[in-house]
Amino acid sequence: MRYTTNIFRSLLLLISLMVFSDVASAQSSLIFSDTAGRRVEFTAFGTIVYPDRRSVSRGYEVVYGDNLRAWYLNSAFNSGIVPISFFSDQSTGQPLSDGARVYVRAVVRTADSKLTITHEYIWRVGSRKIEAVVTVKNSSGASLPLREVSILTPPPATPNSRSCPCMPALSRDGSTVESSVVTSPSSPIYLKTTASYPALLLQIEGSGEVPGCEEIPDDGPYSLGEC
């Protein structure tokens, strides 16, 4: 009898985990807020949305192989990006106290399944910065050149004494980084920061990282914390 009960409990636990996984994977975005009223939304595609401003940040484009391209900014500006998994170590729904750590990971792939792209974010609630890392992994089964990884962000506001400057992309793995102003169908102006790789050949399951930082807009009815 005890053996049967243990099996039954194990089955219940397995069913619960399956249901939880389905719910988590069905989430399209996660919104976190602090006690001062600031809200930050992370999406399953790896972008960041600021609901108060209705602006999208951390859009991206990858160029790989024989000049293949895939990009994502929003649902209307999506070329070949498919979400795979979405995770955070914090629950949404309740304001978080200053100093709390929010970790978010969104994993996507290109439609041809040649690249897996992981977006990782860490936000210390109360800070005006979100640390970001984009990892591009070769999942094609053969060696594959990685040519460019670009990050799209709204142009920064005019610097002031409260400015908390961030670079959307930093050099790593031999890349050179340059920024330019571009237009998109959904917004007139974006800053495109591109990490270019002159000779980065990703081996099977090999990857390249693009570290960076996101600056939370300095507006709204709240008091911003330190960088």
The answer to the question of residue 225 being in a domain is no
Which structural domain range is residue 187 located in? Answer: 2-215
pLDDT tens profile 66-90: 999 999 999 888 999 999 999 999 9
Structure tokens at 10: 């194990």
The answer to the question of residue 222 being in a domain is no
The answer to the question of residue 227 being in a domain is no
Closest CA to 209 of 161, 167, 146: 146
Q: How confident is the model at residue 11 (pLDDT cuts 50, 70, 90)?
A: very low
Q: How many CB atoms lie within 10 A of CB 205?
A: 11
User: Quick check: 168 and 151 in contact, CB under 8 A?
Assistant: yes
**Counting beta carbons within 10 angstroms of the beta carbon of residue 222, is it exposed (0 to 12), middle (13 to 18) or buried (19 or more)?**
middle
Number of structural domains (the chain) is 1
For residue 184, the model assigns a pLDDT of 65
pLDDT tens profile 22-62: 333 447 999 998 887 888 999 999 999 987 677 899 999 99
Buried b (16+ CB within 10 A) or exposed e, 74-109: beeeeebbebeebebeeeeeeebeeeeebebbbbbb
The answer to the question of residue 221 being in a domain is no
Position 153: which residue type? T
The answer to the question of residue 220 being in a domain is no
Closest CA to 128 of 169, 98, 96: 98
The answer to the question of residue 17 being in a domain is yes
Structure tokens at 171: 């050099």
Question: Which residues make Cβ contacts (< 8 Å) with residue 144, sequence separation at least 6?
Answer: 64, 65, 114, 115, 138, 201, 202
Structure tokens at 179: 């920024």
Question: Which residues make Cβ contacts (< 8 Å) with residue 136, sequence separation at least 6?
Answer: 62, 64, 115, 116, 117, 146, 149, 202, 207, 208, 209, 210
Is the pLDDT at 180 greater than 50, yes or no?
Answer: yes
Euclidean distance between CA atoms 40 and 37, whole angstroms: 10
The answer to the question of residue 111 being in a domain is yes
The CATH number of the domain holding residue 103 is 2.70.98
Helix H or strand E segment including 22: helix 2-26
The answer to the question of residue 107 being in a domain is yes
pLDDT tens profile 104-139: 999 999 999 999 999 999 999 988 899 999 999 999
